[in-house]
Each structure stands twice: as C-alpha cells, then as structure tokens.
Homo-oligomer: A and B are copies of this chain.
Amino acid sequence: MSVHSRRENINLADMIDITEAGRAMHVFATELYPICRSITGNGIRSTLGRIGEQIPLILHEVPSGTAVFDWTVPNEWNIRDAYVANANGERVIDIRRHNLHILSYSTPIHARMPLAELKQHLFTLPDQPDLIPYRTSYYQENWGFCLTHNQLMGLTDGEYEIVIDSTLAPGSLTYAECFLPGATEDEVLISCHACHPSLANDNLSGIVLATWLAQLLGQSERRYSYRFVFIPGTIGSITWLARNEAHVGRIKHGLVLTCLGDPGHTTYKRSRQSTAEIDRVVEHVLRHTGTAYAIKDFFPYGYDERQYCSPGFNLPVGCLMRTPHGRFAEYHTSADNLDLVRPEALADSLAKLIAIVQVLEQNRTYRNLNPMCEPQLGKRGLYGAIGGQIDAKSYQLALLWVLNYSDGEHALIDIAERSGMPFATIAHAATALQSAGLLTEDVQSIEWSAR
C-alpha cells in the first residue's frame, strides 16, 4: 500500500527536462555515430561499452556456431581498413571517409583488378546519385563496396587495388541487457538493435531513447521490472529468445524502439495480439497528445518485433517509430545521419515513451466496494472544490466513471478510453477513491489477449 501510494505520486515526466534530454541524446548519438558496427565484432562491442557508461549493463557473448532455433550464430566480423585505390595509389573509395563504404561482413581481400571486374562488387543508388547505400552480406560470403552513383560514374577505366583488411572467424555475438527490478517480476521489455554502422535514425535513435528511459526508470519507483535489450537485429533477438525461452512468460508488455529521431509524426505498429494492453495504452497516449500519429496493424516484417511476435512466442510487443523504415528517403543511406535526427524529435519521442510507461505503471483493475447505487461522495469530501491542476468538473466525472466501471472487468485504461478522458485524470480519481475506501484493486488479472 505504501509503495503504491508513493508510486502514485511519481510523475515520471516531472523528473526530467525533456528539451535538455533531447539535446543530450543527440550528443550521445553523435558520439556513437562514427563507430563501425555490424551484427558481431568490436563495433557493436564498443557501442555497448559506451552505453554501459550511462546505465548498468551486462554484456553477453554467445560463441559463433551456437544453434539458436533455426539459425546459427555466425562468425565474428571485424574490419580494420578497406579501400579501393587507383593507379596513382589514391584511395578513391575509403572506409575512413564513411563506414557505409564497406559491404558489411565483407571477406578479406587484397587484389588488383580492372574496373569492369571491380564493378561487380560495387553498390550504388542510381536514383539517389549523391547517397551511399547501406548493404550487408551476413549469410553469403562476399566482399564489396558501397559508393554514390556519381562517384561510380567518375571512376575511369584502368586497374584498381582492392584492400579489405577484415577478419571473419569464430568469435562471438555480443548483446547487452539492462535489468531494472520492480515491485513485481512481471517485465516490460524494451528492445533496440545496435548493429547498424553510421546510420542515425535507423539504429542510434532507438539506442539513445532506450538509454535515457533506462536512466530515468533507474531513478524512480517501479511497479514492473524493466528489461532493456541492446542487440544485433534479427539474429540478436533470435539469440536472446533462444537463451531466454523459459522466461518469456514474464514479459507482459514490450516495445521495439527504432527510427525515433526524424521529424515525421509518431507511428505505432501493433503487436500481433493487436489488442494487448501495450497496444491499447500506446494508442491512448498517442490519441491524447493532440498531434498527428499513425497506428498500423501488425505485419510480419520490420524489426525484431517479427521475432517476438512469431507465432510460437506471440509476445505483446509492439514497435514505436516515427517514420517507418523504407518510408523516408534517407533510409539505409548515408543521408540517415545526424542532421536527419533532431534533438526536438528525440525529445518528443522520449516524452511519449515516458507517458506510455506512466500509464503501464498505473493501469490497474479495481473493484467498486459500494456497487449498489452511487456512494455519497460529498460526505467523504470527494465532491466540490478540489485543488491541483486537474479541472474540477472533469475530476468529478472521472470519479463517477471509475466507480461505475470498476466492476472487475474494466481496467483504468478501459475506463479512460470509454469516458474519452485522459488516463491521468482517471488514475487520479482511482487513487482518491481507493484512499476513501471505495475501491480495491482487483487481484484477478485481466486476460488482455482474450479480448
């Protein structure tokens, strides 16, 4: 009870200067941007190391060759240098100028070849001739370079020297977890991929948001336990699920965070369950922000939600984004950079994420202890003038809504949705009614997925 009362008084949004946080997240993204990440290797390892300076993080190393469901943890890839030099020895393509120049997971090579032969290993975007594409070849051995189409057009015939100083050999896959225990063992999973090299929106925005949320939650009371996972995309979530299969039942709600720094409006992709509590909570929060947003039904491609929501797991994990992958022109190109990602967009995404967590923390199902007719609110001081920032008339209606629908079948989020009121007003009313002895928390949990 005392924990509960204390927690009710915590307003996460009050604990943080959102504008300042937006700026700080952008600074951290700027720090991480130059690291050449991939799904394994020192790039992701050092990235996780930097995150670990911000929040308590445990790194896990999973040996190459480990079977994880239908997949196998691949060899570890590390890259030291990569370039193409012309006859004059000038580096015409150079990883030191941009990490995207190297096809990720390129095998080592040192050779000379004419342009015609080299071209079979060069990737460009003819429709966006000034941008370098992002390409990978994780599961098929290959080597290559990515460059702008204009750069390719400028290459003269002749012989070139190719140097890729990489290693692709048994090692390990690295991922990290930040676990914040709460009052219950029920968990909220926050997942983001950390395997993309110099891409800011599609990678770094999710990482910095998760980091800042973890920092904030680390300082507050928590009803739920929170598990933040920083993983390489696809193989990382598959590996994590394979190693945690026995415990996924604890995950009550989850979000994949990605593409949260661009100037577009917020997009939420529902979990496969489609009406899980997380789905309803995010939709409620977005509806009450007063700004444009989009809701998408689950589809089985995208980010790691496709693994969390595979039919054998079917976890209540949605995906929070701004502009979805593939819908912004800069996606998977060198233009997905620190200019695309704005501090104010990061701040706005963080504010929404905090609001979502706030609702999850406070959403409960209560039972009206005086269900026969209305209780007399006046004699309990619940009717009439009340202080605070919440409008008095709304608050009194909220008391009636909570009393009428607290029949064990409606959680506070349901009552908020039905009344059209913001969750905070409904939760405030519930707290007051509980203090007045008119409401008790219903121990029966609601079967959300059955709705």
Contacts and interface: CB of A to CB of B under 8 A. Distances in A.
A311 B405 contact: yes
B70 A373 contact: yes
A404 B310 contact: yes
A372 B312 contact: yes
Interface stretch (A176-184, A223-231, A301-309, A344-352): A301-309
Given A139-B379, A300-B404, A397-B301, A71 B309 contact: no
Interface stretch (A53-61, A123-131, A237-245): A237-245
A88 interface: no
Contacts of A70: 370, 373-376
A403 interface: yes
A400 B300 contact: yes
Interface in A291-330: 299-301, 306-307, 309-314
A337 interface: no
B404 A371 contact: no
A70 B437 CA distance: 12
A397 B300 CA distance: 8
A401 interface: yes
A311 B405 CA distance: 7
B378 A139 contact: yes
Contact of A71 (B234, B307, B376, B404): B376
Interface centre among A310, A312, A314 (most CB of B within 10 A): A310
A375 to B, nearest CB: 4
A43 to B, nearest CB: 23
Contacts of A310: 371-374, 403-404
A313 B307 CA distance: 45
Nearest to A304: B373
A9 interface: no
Contacts of A376: 70-71, 139
A407 interface: yes
A201 interface: no
Contact of A373 (B241, B370, B403, B405): B241
A373 B404 contact: no
A272 B409 CA distance: 13
A99 interface: no
Contacts of A312: 368, 371-373
Interface in A233-274: 234, 237-238, 241-242, 245, 272
Interface centre among A299, A309, A313 (most CB of B within 10 A): A299
Given A69-B372, A71-B373, A313-B373, 8 more contacts: A139-B378, A139-B379, A299-B401, A300-B403, A300-B404, A306-B404, A310-B404, A312-B372
Interface of A: 68-71, 139-140, 234, 237-238, 241-242, 245, 272, 299-301, 306-307, 309-314, 368, 370-376, 378-379, 397, 400-401, 403-407, 419
